[in-house]
Chains A and B, each alone.
Chain A
Amino acid sequence: MPREIHIICVSGTHEKLQMAAMVASVAAASGEAVCVFFSMNALTYFVKGKDAVAPAEGEFGALLNKKGVPSFKKLFQQAGDLGDARLLPCSMALDLLEITDEDLDPGFGPATGLTKFLMDAEGAELLTF
């Protein structure tokens, strides 16, 4: 049985999104089952057509804009393409944004409630960014 890693992504800062994407992509590509639940500020970067740059939390965040650093969006996408990762939008966040899961970038799964996510995460490792 592969290890299961569940990730909750809520922060919209560049550093936290980057680290979550790095964990998701490397873990998925290494054979772990990964499930990422996006809510609050983190979700807003994945609305179709939104091209906003995530703000830096501290001085390291600016370094992440250097050429050669893979974007967090690409890493999350690779987590799904190269491994077993599911990207799930929080249904409450979608409701508040007045959008549906169809308004999100390709690769996102269905709107998911926190209860369902937590039930699925039972016994798995849970990381929050």
Chain B
Amino acid sequence: MSEHKVIDACNTYCPGPLMELITYMKQAEVGDTLELLSTDQGTANDVPEWVNKIGHEMVDSEKVGDVWHITVRKAK
């Protein structure tokens, strides 16, 4: 059964949110989704680059108010 975890990295600066995501990604199982909350614009641009390079799957990225919700599925 895949899990969905929300990681609140709001009000932290680059590369803090990405590092938070990677920390939880290491602990997650294949198929799990992680939703990173971030107020850092750079993170919204960088996370898809990292996901593409490592080979995970971008599920969604949208800005709600001041907060980016970036959802990634662990693929490997």
Instruction: Output the least CB separation between A65 and chain B (Å).
Output: 12
B18-51 contacts to A, CB under 8 A, are 18-19, 22-23, 26, 50
Asked whether, in the complex, the Cβ of A68 is within 8 Å of the Cβ of B12, the reply is yes
A39-91 contacts to B, CB under 8 A, are 66-70, 75, 78, 82
A26-34, A100-108, A112-120, A121-129 - the one binding chain B: A26-34
Q: Tell me if B2 is interfacial: C-beta within 8 Å of chain A.
A: no
Set of chain A residues within 8 Å of B26, measured between Cβ atoms: 82
Choose from B12, B14, B23, B53 the contact partner of A22 (Cβ within 8 Å): B14
Measured CA separation A30–B23 after assembly (Å): 12
Asked whether, in the complex, the Cβ of B12 is within 8 Å of the Cβ of A82, the reply is no
Q: A30-B50, A30-B54, A70-B16 are in contact. Are A82 and B22 (CB under 8 A)?
A: yes
Measured CA separation A31–B26 after assembly (Å): 13
Measured CA separation A87–B53 after assembly (Å): 24
Q: A29-B22, A82-B26 are in contact. Are A75 and B12 (CB under 8 A)?
A: no
Asked whether, in the complex, the Cβ of B13 is within 8 Å of the Cβ of A68, the reply is yes
Asked whether, in the complex, the Cβ of B12 is within 8 Å of the Cβ of A31, the reply is no
Asked whether, in the complex, the Cβ of B18 is within 8 Å of the Cβ of A29, the reply is yes
Set of chain A residues within 8 Å of B23, measured between Cβ atoms: 78, 82
Set of chain B residues within 8 Å of A68, measured between Cβ atoms: 11-13, 16
Closest 8 CB pairs of A and B: A70-B16, A68-B12, A68-B11, A29-B22, A69-B13, A26-B15, A82-B22, A78-B19
Q: Which A residues are within 8 Å of any B CB, using their own CB?
A: 22, 25-26, 29-31, 66-70, 75, 78, 82
A26-B15, A70-B13 are known; give 15 further A-B pairs, CB within 8 A.
A25-B15, A26-B18, A29-B50, A31-B53, A67-B11, A68-B13, A68-B16, A69-B16, A70-B12, A70-B19, A78-B19, A78-B23, A82-B19, A82-B22, A82-B26
